[in-house]
Structure formats: C-alpha cells, structure tokens
Structure 1
Amino acid sequence: MKTLVRLEIVRTLRNRKFMFFSVLYPAMLFMISTLGTDKHKQIEGLHLSYVAYYMVAMASFGAMTAVLMGNAERIAREREKGWVRQLRLTALPGRSYVIAKIASAATVSLPSILIVLVLGATVKDVKLDAWQWIAIAFSTWAGSMVFAALGVAIGYIATADAARPISMIFYFGLAGLGGLWLPITNFPGWLQTLAGYLPGRPYAALGQSIEFGSAPHMKDILVLAFYLLLFAGGAAWMYRKDTRKA
C-alpha cells in the first residue's frame, strides 16, 4: 500500500496545471470576496468579521475543490483506461486503494489551505493566537478527507464524461449549503438545520469554532465522521465488488 500511496502522490504533484489551479484558486477567491471590506465589519448573528469568516470559508472551499473535483474525474478516466482493472488483479484490498487516493488528494489540499491562511494573517490582518492558526489549518485539512472520499466514490461509479458534472452538483450544492459563499445566518431556520446534517456546513464550522476560541463541536465532528465512513466504505465496497468480477 505504501508504494501505491507514494505513486499517487507523485502523480498528483506532477500535474502542474491541476496543482496551479487547486492551490491558487481559493486564494484568489478569498482576496476577491474580501476586496474593499472593512476588517472590523462583523457578520450579524455570528459576531465574527467578514474577513475572518471568508478566510475559513475559502480555505475550506479550496480544499474541497482540490480533493473532490480532482479525484472523481481522474479515477473515472483511470477506470476507462484499464489502470484500476490492473490494480484489481493484484492482492490490493479496497481500503488501501481508497486510502491511496485520499492521501494523494490531501497532498494538494494542504498548501491551498495554508496560502489562504497566510494571506489572511499578512494581507488582511486577521488576528488569532498561534494555536488557533495551527488548529484551523489542521482541522480544515483533516476535514477535507470527507470530500476526497466522496470524489473516490463518484469516480468509481461514474463514467469519465459523467464524473465532472456529478462532482460539480455535489461540489456547488455542498459548498452553498455549507455557507461557504454566503454566511449561514442568511439562510432560513429550516435550511440552517438541514445544512447542519450535510457535510459542507460541519466542515466549515470546524475552523469557525476555533476562531471563536473554542474546540469544534462534537456534533460537527460526528457528522463528518459518518460521511467519511459512508463515502470511503462505499468506494471500498465497489472496488471489492469489481475485484470479484475480474
């Protein structure tokens, strides 16, 4: 499994166009979304500044972009080219395949998160304690594994042509309901409740809880853990199912 993980990471890093888009895209969105915004202006109902809110939101959005959009289409194309079939003929278990794909995606998501946070601290003058910066970076990176697993699952059930539009539906839907584009306080109460049980909102809430100086809520962690097990388990099951057919 270690060999496959290393191979997947190297292949991801060699894709310069994908790396460029995935790493710089969230940073550009953060700078644009906070352009001309008073750093002291707060979001009503959250007691959090717009700049601080969108710093975490765009870091989360960028990580989601890298791990979900990249994984799904790449895996679907690998299946069509026969690479996944070759792996199925080996003794590689399904969980190792999923772990390798998640690990390669995590390689891209971490620098995209760090760049947004650095811009928040240096250009936008967001003031947080050292432990908060570290905790936000780690929690946002760790939470992105949920969407990496979703990308693997989509890539394994969809054709190469269908993988991108299916991914985009999940991508924009989960990001929108997660409050990554508009503050969650703008949503009606019933939609806020619904969003709390989908992975997008708990994901963004990890970093925002830390900005308030507290630990992430246990409910958010449990929701994300549930979806991680669901997506990763589903992808591994589909891999094993195809292995029995090979």
Structure 2
Amino acid sequence: MTTLIRLEITRTLRNKKFMFFSILYPSIIYLLFSASKTPTDKIPGTDLTFQNFYVVAMASFGALTAVLMGNSERIAKEREKGWVRQLRLTSLPGRGYVLAKIASAAVVTLPCIVVVFVVSAVLKDVRFDAWQWVALTGAIWAGSLVFAALGVAIGYIASGDAVRPITMIIYFSLSMAGGLWFPTATWPDWAQNIIKWLPTHAYAALGQAIETGNAPHAQDVAILFAYFLLFAGGAAYLYRKDTLKA
C-alpha cells in the first residue's frame, strides 16, 4: 500500500497543469470575490469581516476543487484504461486503494491553502495570530480529506464520459449551498437548518470558528468525520464491487 501511495503522490506532482490550475485558481477567485469589500465590512449578524470570510472560504473551496475534481476524473479514466484492473490482480485491499488516492490528493491541497493565505496577507493585509494561521491550515487540510474520499467514490460510480458533469453538479451544489461562495448567516432559518448538515457547511465552519478565536464546534467535526466514514467506506465498497464484476 505504501508503494502505491508513493506512486500516486509522484504522479500528482508530475501533472504540472493540474498542479498549476489547482494552486492558482482559488487565489484568483479570492481576489475577485474580495475586490469589492473593505477590510472593515462585516457579514450581517456575525463578527466576521468579508475579507476574513473569503480567506477561509476560498482556501476551503480550492482544497475541495483539487481533491474532488482531480480524484473523480482520474479514477474514471484509470478504470477505462485498465490501470485499476491491473491493481486488482495484486493483493491490494480496497481500503489501500482509497487511502492511496486520498493521500495523493492531500499533497495538492496544502499548497492551495498556503498560497491563498499568502495572497490574502500580502495583497489584502489580512492578519491573524500565528496560532490561527497554523490552526486554519491544519483544519482546512484535514477537512479536505472528506472530499478526497467522495472523489474516489464518484470515480467508481460514473463512467469516463459522465464523470465530469456529475462531479461538476455535486461540486458547485455543495460549494454554494455549503457557504463556500457566499455567507449563509443571513439565510432563512429553515434553509440554515438544512444546510448545517452538509459537509461543506461543516467544513467552512471549522475555519470560521478559528478565525473568531474559538475552537471548532464538536458538531461540525462529528459531521465531517461521519461523512468521511461514509464516503471512504462507499469508495472501498465500490472498488470491491468493481472487482467482482471483472
């Protein structure tokens, strides 16, 4: 399993176009979204400024982009080319394959997050305490593993032709409804009662809690952990199911 993890990480790092797009894309979106806001503009009903909100939102969105889009499309193509069939001839268990994909995706997310933070600090003068920068990086990085597992599962559900539109629908729906593009604090209560159970909402809430000097809420951590078990377990099951078909 460790050999496959090293191979997957190497393949990811060699894909320069994917790395370039994944790392710069969230920073560009951050600059566009925050351009019309001043450092003192606050989100109604909260203590968060728009500048701070978009730092976490776009770092999280960039991590989501890298792990979800990258994993799902890559796996669907690997299935069509026969690479996954070759792996099934080995003794690699389903959980090993899933963990290898998650590990390779994690390599991309870290620079995505760091670049957004550097851009926000240098160009937008965003300031946090040192412990907050470290905590934000760790929380956003760890939370992205949930969506890396989801990307693996999608890669096994969809065919090579269908994987991109399916992933895009899930990707944009989760991003918008979960509050990664726009603040949800002013949404109606009935809508907030629904979206608080989405993984992206819990994901964004991790960073927002740290921004305000607090620890992430236990409910948000539990929600993300439950989704990780669901997605990773589903991905491993689909891998084994695909093996039985072969």
Q: Distance in 1 between matches of 2:72 and 2:187?
A: 29
Q: Distance in 1 between matches of 2:87 and 2:42?
A: 52
Q: Distance in 2 between matches of 1:27 and 1:168?
A: 20
TM-score (norm 1): 0.98
**How do 1:103-182 and structure 2 match up within 5 A?**
103-182=103-182
**Residues 77-109 of structure 1, C-alpha deviations (whole Å, 9 max, x = no match):** 000110001101110000010000001111111
TM-score (norm 2): 0.98
Does the Cα contact within 8 Å between 1:89 and 1:243 map onto a contact in 2?
no
What amino acid is the match of 2:62?
Answer: G
Aligned to 1:188: 188
Aligned to 1:24: 24
Q: Distance in 2 between matches of 1:36 and 1:191?
A: 26
Shift of 1:66: 0.3
Percent identical residues: 62
Shift of 1:170: 0.9
Does the Cα contact within 8 Å between 2:72 and 2:151 map onto a contact in 1?
yes
What amino acid is the match of 2:52?
Answer: A
Does the Cα contact within 8 Å between 1:62 and 1:112 map onto a contact in 2?
yes
What amino acid is the match of 1:11?
Answer: R
Does the Cα contact within 8 Å between 1:24 and 1:112 map onto a contact in 2?
yes
Does the Cα contact within 8 Å between 2:59 and 2:116 map onto a contact in 1?
yes
Q: Distance in 1 between matches of 2:147 and 2:39?
A: 30
What amino acid is the match of 1:210?
Answer: I
Q: Distance in 1 between matches of 2:186 and 2:212?
A: 19
**Runs of 4 or more above 3 Å deviation:** none
In structure 1, the gaps of 5 or more residues are none
C-alpha RMSD of matched pairs (Å): 0.9
Q: Distance in 2 between matches of 1:121 and 1:207?
A: 16
**How do 1:4-153 and structure 2 match up within 5 A?**
4-153=4-153
In structure 2, the gaps of 5 or more residues are none
Shift of 1:185: 1.6
Q: Distance in 2 between matches of 1:243 and 1:201?
A: 34
Does the Cα contact within 8 Å between 2:44 and 2:186 map onto a contact in 1?
no
Does the Cα contact within 8 Å between 2:70 and 2:151 map onto a contact in 1?
yes
- Partner of 2:185, secondary structure, is helix
Does the Cα contact within 8 Å between 1:88 and 1:242 map onto a contact in 2?
no
Does the Cα contact within 8 Å between 1:61 and 1:175 map onto a contact in 2?
yes
Shift of 1:175: 0.4
Aligned to 1:231: 231
Q: Distance in 2 between matches of 1:54 and 1:192?
A: 19
What amino acid is the match of 1:17?
Answer: K
Shift of 1:17: 0.9
- Partner of 2:162, secondary structure, is helix
Does the Cα contact within 8 Å between 1:149 and 1:228 map onto a contact in 2?
yes
